Amino acid sequence: MSNIDIIIHNGAVVNYSASYDVLERANVISTFQLLEAALKSQHLRTFIFISGGIKQGLHQSDEDYLRTLNESEAYSQTKYVSEQLTLDAGRLYNEAVHPSSRHEDESRTFMVIKPGYIIGDQVAGISNTDDYIWRLVAGAVRMGSFPSDPPDYWLDIAEVTYVAKYVARQAQLGVSNGSSEPITPPRSIHSGCSSPSNEGARENGTMNSTVIFHDMSRGLPVRQFWHALQSQTQISLKQLDWDSWIGQANADLDRDKEAHPLWAIQLHLGPALGDRIPAEEVKMRSTEQSGTLYEVEAAVRRSVEYLCNIQFIVLPLKEVSLNSSPANRRYLSNRDSDTPADGHEYLRHGKAIKHAQGKHYHTVISRSKLTY
């Protein structure tokens, strides 16, 4: 630890069926051990924990959120415990380890970043087939229907390259005064020590410990997510309410068992995919962040294309267009990867893609058993 300035902890076992005891060692004890080393270190300046699992609703009380966690799968529970360990370690450093220090060389940051669903980017689209959201999508396509959220529901979802740049920027702020590209701020920043979200003080080294929780809000309306899926695959899915859709899913699961993509997440379906936010806020985000929405939708489309190409999402047996023209695969590759995407550039490429001739695939129906 003598030459380590930053720790970014992004490791975990993702298993929605495993018990808390099974996941605790990998998802909780590992965090505890890293924090223990961080508190003992004389050189560490920033500790960042990348979290996951169920997010607290925009207007959800702490008590209601804890009740939701208590009834959820163990994976989300382990991530919550590691979040609290990280925040408490920062408070411990502030109150017990170096309570009177105000020297820049002894200041440090303990941070939790919670991005929501992480998917493939707009260039490669490589996505994790074990993720809840893609199992849900694969199941919906298989069933020919999807579970719809109300119009004012928002989906926190971001492409992996954006999340990586965001984390790197926060790590940089914790160890230097250097500037970096502007990035859309998180929905909320909670600080347990010092003044909330005081990045200026953090850059100037006037705090001895900063404890921060970043709840990233990058995403798009749930209805836009399902529209992007159907547009990309050129299929039409029947819209059902969650109860009706789960009933249909259970019937399919009884027939197909482990071969069904929903098998591993069947106990965690519903009651919604996104989070309810005020209708005016949905409108505001859609208007003010139109470029961002297009970036996220482009990542969704490319991820869907990737998952279709590897036959994880199995389309109906017919000739379908996957909009997989060279323009679609490369429409982001010409811009500087270190420069924030320009909304007009996306729209310009989007129009070109719309008129491009897509490749055609004869999809082979496969029922190969999935392993978890």
Residue 64 lies in a domain: yes
- Tokens standing for residue 325: 């023209």
Residue 212 in this model has a pLDDT that exceeds 90:
yes
Residue 16 lies in a domain: yes
Q: How far is CA 294 from CA 127, 131, 167, 229, in A?
A: 19, 22, 21, 14
Give 250-267 pLDDT, tens digit per residue: 999 999 999 999 999 999
Residue 124 lies in a domain: no
The amino acid sitting at 264 is: A
Average pLDDT over residues 277-291: 73
Same domain, 93 and 138: no
Residue among 62, 245, 284 at smallest CA distance from 149: 245
Higher-confidence residue of 7 and 362: namely 7
Number of domains in the chain: 2
With a CB cutoff of 8 Å and minimum separation 6, the contacts of 7 are 34, 38, 44, 46, 47, 48
Residue 101 in this model has a pLDDT that exceeds 70:
no
Same domain, 178 and 322: no
For residue 47, the model assigns a pLDDT of: 96
With a CB cutoff of 8 Å and minimum separation 6, the contacts of 249 are 139, 143, 262, 266, 269
For residue 309, the model assigns a pLDDT of: 97
Same domain, 47 and 106: yes
Residue 132 in this model has a pLDDT that exceeds 90:
yes
Residue 371 lies in a domain: no
The bridge status of strand 46-50 relative to strand 6-9 is parallel
Same domain, 241 and 205: no
Residue 94 lies in a domain: yes
The amino acid sitting at 44 is: L
Please tell me the pTM assigned to this model: 0.74
- Tokens standing for residue 75: 């994976």
Residue 105 lies in a domain: yes
Residue among 92, 99, 6, 2 at smallest CA distance from 50: 6
Same domain, 66 and 174: yes
Same domain, 135 and 242: yes
Residue 274 in this model has a pLDDT that exceeds 80:
yes
- Tokens standing for residue 138: 């694969």
Q: 215, 235, 262: which is the final residue of a domain?
A: 215
Residue 130 in this model has a pLDDT that exceeds 80:
yes
Cα separation of 134 and 145, whole Å? 15
Q: 215, 231, 258: which is the final residue of a domain?
A: 215
The confidence band for 107, taking pLDDT boundaries of 50, 70 and 90, is confident
Residue 370 lies in a domain: no
Give 111-124 pLDDT, tens digit per residue: 999 999 999 999 99
Same domain, 265 and 152: yes
Residue 341 in this model has a pLDDT that exceeds 50:
no
Query: What domain range includes position 332?
Result: 130-156+219-362
Same domain, 75 and 192: yes
Collapsing DSSP to helix, strand or coil, 111 comes out as strand
Q: 183, 215, 247: which is the final residue of a domain?
A: 215
Same domain, 40 and 188: yes
313, 233 contact by CB (below 8 A) = yes
Q: What is the DSSP letter of 195?
A: S
For residue 93, the model assigns a pLDDT of: 87
Same domain, 192 and 297: no
The bridge status of strand 360-362 relative to strand 319-321 is antiparallel
Q: Quick count: other Cβ atoms within 10 Å of Cβ 339?
A: 8
Residue 210 lies in a domain: yes
For the domain that residue 167 is a member of, what is the CATH number? 3.40.50
Same domain, 339 and 199: no
Task: Supply the mean pLDDT for the chain.
Answer: 79
Q: What is the DSSP string of 20-77?
A: HHHHHIIIIIHHHHHHHHHHH-SS--EEEEE--SPPPPTT--HHHHHHHHHTS-HHHH
What is the torsion angle, in degrees rounded to the nearest 10, for the CA atoms of residue 91, residue 93, residue 96 and residue 97? 180
306, 127 contact by CB (below 8 A) = yes
For residue 94, the model assigns a pLDDT of: 79
Residue 370 falls in which region: left (phi positive, over 0), alpha (psi -120 to 50) or beta: beta
Same domain, 58 and 188: yes
